């Protein structure tokens, strides 16, 4: 009986795993612009979608404290780090 209970628990855990893995958040361009504006207080000057070899990237031109910067973001909300030469 104990063996059947353990097998049942293992099967339940395995069946729930894919549901957790597919629970990734993906933001639209407008949603991401709103998040940037709310979190940083920066003014969004422009927003566009760029297609790269790695996938879709959101490019934002933002202004904060008189400085204009470009932010590259992935749809999942993580920032793309640009390597400077």
| pTM score of the predicted model | 0.67
First-to-last alpha carbon distance for the chain, in angstroms, is 65
Average pLDDT, the chain: 83
Please tell me the predicted confidence (pLDDT) of residue 32.
94
pLDDT of 81 reads 84
DSSP three-state, residue 81: coil
**For residue 59, what are the contacts with CB-CB under 8 A and spacing of at least 6?**
47, 48, 49, 50, 70, 71, 72
* Strand locations in 1-85 (E): 43-52, 55-64, 67-73
Checking phi first, is residue 33 left (phi over 0); if not, alpha (psi -120 to 50) or beta?
alpha
Could you tell me the residue ranges of all domains in the chain?
A: 25-80
Structure tokens at 30: 């407008």
The domain 25-80 is placed in CATH, from the list 2.60.40, 3.40.1350, 1.10.10, 3.10.450, at 3.10.450
Which residue did the predictor score with more confidence, 35 or 1?
A: 35
Residues 24-40 have a mean pLDDT of: 90
Question: pLDDT band at residue 16, thresholds of 50, 70 and 90?
Answer: low
pLDDT in tens, 40-81: 999 999 999 999 898 999 999 999 999 999 999 999 999 998
């Amino acid at each position: 009986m104990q063996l059947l209970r353990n097998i049942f628990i293992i099967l339940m855990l395995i069946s729930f795993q894919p549901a957790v893995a597919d629970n990734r958040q993906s933001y639209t361009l407008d949603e991401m612009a709103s998040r940037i504006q709310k979190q940083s207080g920066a003014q969004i000057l422009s927003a566009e979608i760029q297609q790269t070899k790695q996938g879709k990237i959101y490019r934002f031109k933002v202004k904060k404290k008189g400085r204009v910067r470009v932010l590259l973001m992935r749809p999942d909300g993580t920032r793309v780090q640009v390597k400077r030469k």
